[in-house]
Structure 1
């Protein structure tokens, strides 16, 4: 039961992402046009909140589900008291970065949040210098370290801006929540 108390929000998030994917699929991906993040437009501002929930295809949402669940579970398990605050900082600050500096396209997908959790877990481990967060940081770096190439431009149709600003927002979230964290 303690595990479910720490993971309820992540289970709800993954369920919401998949539920919206089904609606998006049925509507011909209208949700992406209505609620995707379109940089430097008033109508695109709501995309800061909705971008992580929307995806462009079944393959896109499927590719994001495993890292979303794994990195989210690590955040929930090891930083449970600040998991929601850190996630809100990542979504808000990372999305704002994309809105301010992203290329003129509709940005969607949970990868900004995934990169944010990646940055949060790595930064947290090195900032706290305690054994468990440091081991988690090292493990995440080893398993997901190749993700860092995703912060560079180059792959058409991929929002490298969401990756970059998500990762940077994760580092900021680790710093902001550092004194509020209680650990395991």
Structure 2
């Protein structure tokens, strides 16, 4: 006999509640701009306190705080559009899954920066890269045609971002980009495995 359906929604490319997802990302993004305003008003004391300081145990708190801070308004503006878009699309599996995916990216990228970066790091680009790679590979793990099509479209528009995982500009943390990408790939693998386990199967 067939097992009872798991209740898990089929793989999607857009959030089931797009207005709620958009509102969450807008609030999150506005918070980043508010943090930058506070930092500027403080004479950059906030970013100095919240930066991720490599191989310094006193700087481990930066794993949590560094992605929320930026060097200046230009740095923040460059991250804003991909942050909004990729974060919104990454919410297609639901808020709970999005939190788990984001946390995975956040921790893996932070640990990678802490281990390998030669200098303190701030900025949300590690999270942006993580969401981007999550969106690029999850459809292949899940064998889902719609998600693969979305990945192709995103790659055509944003594929040049992938060069950011390679050492280039000494003022840009390629380590954060690389380990954010690793976190996104790991998260996509975990999500696909969880979906397969939850998928209804037929039994005798």
**Common fold, TM-score beyond 0.5?**
yes
Alignment coverage as a number of residue pairs: 180
Structure 2 alignment gaps of length 5 or more: 1-15, 199-204
Distance 2:170 2:39 in 1: 22
Distance 1:43 1:19 in 2: 25
Q: Point out the structure with max Rg over C-alpha.
A: 2
Q: Paired residue for 1:45?
A: 60
What's the RMSD between the two structures over aligned residues? 1.6
Give the drift of 1:132: 1.9
1:148 to 162, 166, 169: 162
Distance 2:93 2:152 in 1: 16
Q: Paired residue for 1:159?
A: 173
Distance 1:129 1:2 in 2: 23
Distance 1:6 1:32 in 2: 28
Give per-residue Cα distances to partners, 1:3-49, cap 9 Å, x unaligned. 23333432221121111010011111111110110111112111111
Q: Paired residue for 2:8?
A: none
Distance 2:108 2:193 in 1: 19
TM-score (norm 1): 0.92
Q: Paired residue for 2:42?
A: 27
Correspondence list, 1:13-162, <5 A: 13-76=28-91, 78-80=92-94, 81-103=96-118, 105-162=119-176
Other structure's SS at 1:82 match: helix
62-71 or 125-134, which deviates more? 125-134
Distance 2:108 2:170 in 1: 24
Distance 1:32 1:87 in 2: 21
Distance 1:6 1:66 in 2: 15
Give the drift of 1:126: 1.1
Distance 2:188 2:114 in 1: 22
The alignment status of 1:178 with 2:178, answered yes or no, reads no
1:168 to 164, 182, 193: 182
The answer to which structure, 1 or 2, has the higher relative contact order (CA under 8 A, 6+ apart) is: 2
Structure 1 alignment gaps of length 5 or more: none
Distance 1:67 1:135 in 2: 18
